[in-house]
Structure 1
Amino acid sequence: MDTRLAAISRHHGLKIFHNGLANLARFAALEYRNMMRVMPFVLDGLLDNGGLDSKLIGLYLKWNDMYRKTRKLAFTKKELDNFEKLMKSWAKDLVLIGSYSNNQCQYPKLHHFLYHLIPAIKDYCSPNGWNAETFEFLYKAYIKDPYHISNKRNVNPQILGTVMRKLTLQEVYKTIFLNKPHHFYQSNEVILYKNYNNIPF
């Protein structure tokens, strides 16, 4: 699987997992979203076990569909009913991998998702308004990643220095390329950046 992930060709907006899933413990919401884009293709033909990979791909595609629905800003009653049916269908298919799990997939977050998400949406509207992905991404970008590139000694000044350097370079980039085509030349290739969050610093 790691070999397949590393073999995926570069494409704008698509993260390449050159090291496979070796750093899975450091993954945040952004990495999982990027992984969701490519995993069905990675699993295709990976297992020669009576079509098990096809079933896993179907399970993964249903999960992607459910995740996409949770990003909606609002739900109608019909959409919420369809979402609940999709969740139940996915949970029924999840039995497929239960035998490969040490605890038979008895995870608290999974229980919360299947049994409490729909009532929570009815009470508090779309989960897109009360999830923590934004804060998790900011934590990873401004705390976790700078910490990992430090020497782990007296880390606070190093983290602050890394973050300030990144912000300064972003401001310089904005100043230089403001109201100009957003091109960044590297190895005779043109990489387009839609916004300043993708600046390669």
Structure 2
Amino acid sequence: MKEYFNNGTSNSAGLEQVDNYFWNILNLNIYTATVPDRMHHLNLGLFKYQIEFTTELLKLKPGKLVDDMNKRIAKIPRHLGLKVFKKGVQSLSRLTASEYRNMMKIIVFVVNGLYSEDLSNVYVKWNEMYLLSRLENFKESDLQDFQKVINDWGNIFIKLFRDISRSNLKFPKLHSWIYHIVDTIREHRAINRYTTETYESLHKTYVKIPYRLSNKKNVEKQIMENIRCRAIVIRNRVKKTKTLVAFTYTAKLFDFNFSEAIINEHRDNPKLNKNMSKGFAKFIDCLNSYLKLLNTTSEDCRIRIYSSVTLKNSAILRAVDNFYDRP
């Protein structure tokens, strides 16, 4: 890196045009001195590069493959806990690490059959590698498997994108990940032990957001005032909420005193749909397990079953096969 800088060619290597203090320290292994972080190395680093390089690769092939990829992404239906990317890869420039993790869940299916088998495999290998990187503990055999998966992914990644990258993939995060991450884990233990995601989240909540709400004049004072007001609101909210929010139930379907005979009678009711009959078939075993946890019995137990309930986190659980005439 120092050689590129001194020769004035750091643009071709993707380096910033600034001198680096560490270059003045002799015999310093920068990859040992700088502990890798999964969020910056993977979520916001290598995976971000992989998406960008994929887009550039598709532009080189005849046809509107980038448009096809965007359409595939946009067609993925909304699902609990999964972000919907209605604008496709066009919206990736401002994604957070969490949103990139959502993209990892779907991109394998998006690129399948779109360009080449290697393009599909690089995302399959990526997910295998990413899952291993999240382990809390590593045995030596795990590290060997991890290094193999990293090498498998790296070989395909370099083969696909070397000519796409302006620097021919000469950037530190790739080198650090392939050649140093396993040794770093041996020395410092699992990556999860030294992640910066918590501090990044705090920085966003207590610095970035208040800064954007300011008028950019006397910023520090405005940030502190914003944080103080937020703390007062949260404290008052906690004081007013003395009890938990009650569940909200809808129409009552069943109301009876517990007995196996009544349960079996409902189970055999021909008017019930298949799923509700199955529910009654498992009802006694599930209830007994629940009562065992509570260390009580079913004596004088009364059963009420409603068509749905809204939990305090606004999630809705339904006991019927369909609602609003939809499954």
TM-score (norm 1): 0.72
> Cα offset for 1:22?
4.0
Q: Deviations over 1:137-161 (max 9, x none)?
A: 333344435555x375446358548
User: For the structure 1 residues 104 and 23, does the alpha-carbon distance in structure 2 shift closer, same or farther, using more than 3 Å as the test?
Assistant: same
| Residue aligning to 1:100 | 164
| Residue aligning to 1:130 | 194
User: For the structure 1 residues 118 and 184, does the alpha-carbon distance in structure 2 shift closer, same or farther, using more than 3 Å as the test?
Assistant: same
1:44 and 1:57 in contact (8 A); partners too? yes
C-alpha distance in 2, partners of 1:22/1:162? 36
Q: Deviations over 1:8-34 (max 9, x none)?
A: 211001011234344534333212211
Q: Is 1:139 matched with 2:203?
A: yes
1:6 and 1:20 in contact (8 A); partners too? yes
C-alpha distance in 2, partners of 1:165/1:7? 43
From 114, 118, 121, give the equivalent of 1:46. Answer: 114
From 78, 84, 89, give the equivalent of 1:10. Answer: 78
Letter in 2 for 1:71: R
| Residue aligning to 2:133 | 70
Counterpart secondary structure, 1:184: coil
1:5 and 1:20 in contact (8 A); partners too? yes
Gap runs ≥5 in structure 2: 1-68, 248-310, 318-327
1:59 and 1:90 in contact (8 A); partners too? yes
From 92, 117, 120, give the equivalent of 1:57. Answer: 120
Task: Judge which range, 119-128 or 88-97, deviates more.
Answer: 88-97
User: For the structure 1 residues 25 and 84, does the alpha-carbon distance in structure 2 shift closer, same or farther, using more than 3 Å as the test?
Assistant: same
C-alpha distance in 1, partners of 2:83/2:229? 22
Alignment of 1:185-200 (within 5 A): 190=316
Aligned residues: 182
C-alpha distance in 1, partners of 2:89/2:232? 29
C-alpha distance in 2, partners of 1:30/1:96? 26
Percent of counterpart pairs with the same letter?
Answer: 31
> Cα offset for 1:164?
5.2
Letter in 2 for 1:8: I
Counterpart secondary structure, 1:113: helix
C-alpha distance in 2, partners of 1:166/1:8? 38
Task: Judge which range, 175-184 or 105-114, deviates more.
Answer: 175-184
Counterpart secondary structure, 2:155: helix
Q: Deviations over 1:175-199 (max 9, x none)?
A: 67557433527xxxx48xxxxxxxx
1:8 and 1:16 in contact (8 A); partners too? yes
Q: Is 1:28 matched with 2:96?
A: yes
Counterpart secondary structure, 1:4: helix
Bigger Cα Rg: 2
1:28 and 1:136 in contact (8 A); partners too? no
> Cα offset for 1:4?
2.9
C-alpha distance in 2, partners of 1:78/1:72? 13
Q: Deviations over 1:43-85 (max 9, x none)?
A: 12333xxxx2x32121112111111111111111111111111
TM-score (norm 2): 0.47
C-alpha distance in 2, partners of 1:38/1:103? 28
